[in-house]
Copies of this chain bind each other. A is one copy, B any other.
Amino acid sequence: MIIGVVGLGLIGGSFCRAVKAKTRHQCLGLDQDFNVLEEALKIGAIDGILEVQELQNCDLVIVCLHPKQTISFLTEHAGDFKKGGIVIDTCGIKTAVVEAVEDPLRQNGVTFIGAHPMAGREFSGFFYSLPDLYEGASFIMTPSPDVDSEKLEVVRNLAKALGFSRIVLTDCQTHDETIAFTSQIAHVISNAYVKSPTLQNQSGFSAGSYQDLSRVAKLNEDMWTDLFLMNQQPLLFELNTVIEHLQEYRNALERQDAEGLRGLLRDGRILKENA
């Protein structure tokens, strides 16, 4: 089939490279940066450049833009896609995106399936994209109940072909609540952690735990601000939860309550062991 990829950053670029490396589908790329398109053509990551007026030729379009851009692109171009075609997004939050774009696309005879490839790097841009970025990762889909099962199968088969090892079907709310925990709060914590004044002494004192905890502090603040605000309630819940738990350790430590502290640490260890 003809696959169009909109936005050739880390995620979109990796989709292009994976499609060309692992399937026989045709892959066209749309990006506002002509240098990126030229580079993608040069290294064979795309078969050709995709213009907006050619979206109607694509059987499947993968939109790899930030959440707000995804919503504006899909609502502006809702009438430009192939009737009977499929559009998926790749945003880290689903309720806000799906609610905004599903109806306009449906009214134009296009099937929209919310998707979230669970992969990334602490770098962004086409330059860092990889044909194997999705190898072994989860591919989450939040299809509405009325989505045709054959269309779902098309996307599922493509995801498997690109290297995803696990396809997860869920609803938007469960996705957003879970992602607030597995991804969003992890980024907030990492970003908050490095604000200790002790950071300046860390060189030479850093074993794995500092490296792990600080890794995702280096984030794109524009994209994550949007993601956080579009998932306000679930993220607020996680923030309140972790702050309350941290206060328990702090209070036990302040009281020099060895048994209390040991119990708190034991509870966490057991939860992790069973996770």
Q: Footprint of B on A, CB under 8 Å? A: 118-120, 137-138, 140, 166, 168, 174-175, 177-183, 185-199, 201-202, 204-210, 212-219, 221-222, 224-225, 228-229, 232, 235-236, 238-243, 245-250, 253-254, 256, 258, 261-262, 264-269, 271-273, 275
Max chain B C-beta neighbours (<10 A), residue from A198, A228, A232: A198
Whether B246 and A250, one on each chain, are in contact in the complex, defined by CB atoms closer than 8 angstroms, is no
Task: Report yes or no: B207 in contact with A267, Cβ–Cβ below 8 A.
Answer: no
Closest approach, in angstroms, between the C-beta of A218 and any C-beta of chain B?
A: 5
- Say whether B190 contacts A213, CB under 8 Å: yes
- In Å, the complex CA distance between A243 and B195 comes to 11
A240 to B250, CA, bound (A): 8
Least CB separation from A267: chain B residue = B195
Asked if B229 and A256 make an inter-chain contact with CB atoms under 8 angstroms apart, the answer reads yes
Closest to A188 in B: B249
Most interface-central of A118, A174, A178, A240 (chain B CB within 10 A): A178
User: Nearest Cβ distance between residue A270 and chain B, in whole angstroms?
Assistant: 9
Chain B residues closer than 8 Å to A215, beta-carbon distance:
208-209, 212
List B contacts of A225 (CB < 8 A). Answer: 258, 261-262, 265
Indicate if the CB atoms of A202 and B188 lie closer than 8 Å: no
Chain B min CB distance to A201 (Å): 4
User: Closest 7 A-B residue pairs measured CB to CB?
Assistant: A191-B268, A181-B198, A186-B209, A221-B265, A217-B272, A192-B245, A182-B210
CB-contact partner of A204 in B120, B166, B229, under 8 A: B166
Bound CA–CA A178/B209 (angstroms) = 13
Minimum CB distance partner of A250 in chain B: B239
The answer to whether A271 and B195 touch across the interface, beta carbons within 8 angstroms, is yes
A195 and B118 form a contact (CB under 8 A): no
* A166–chain B nearest beta-carbon distance, Å: 6
User: Contact between B168 and A205 (Cβ–Cβ < 8 Å)?
Assistant: yes
Q: Would you give the shortest CB distance from A117 to chain B, in whole angstroms?
A: 9
**Cβ of A112 to closest chain B Cβ, rounded Å:** 21
Give me 14 other A-B pairs in contact (C-beta within 8 A), A120-B208, A225-B261 excluded. Answer: A118-B206, A174-B201, A177-B201, A178-B198, A179-B205, A181-B205, A182-B198, A182-B202, A182-B205, A191-B265, A198-B238, A208-B215, A212-B212, A239-B250
Interchain CA distance A213-B186 in the complex, whole Å = 7
CA distance A194 to B177 in the complex (A): 15
Given contacts A189-B246, A247-B243, A269-B218, contact A236 B254 (CB under 8 A): yes
C-alpha spacing A242/B85, complex, angstroms:
48
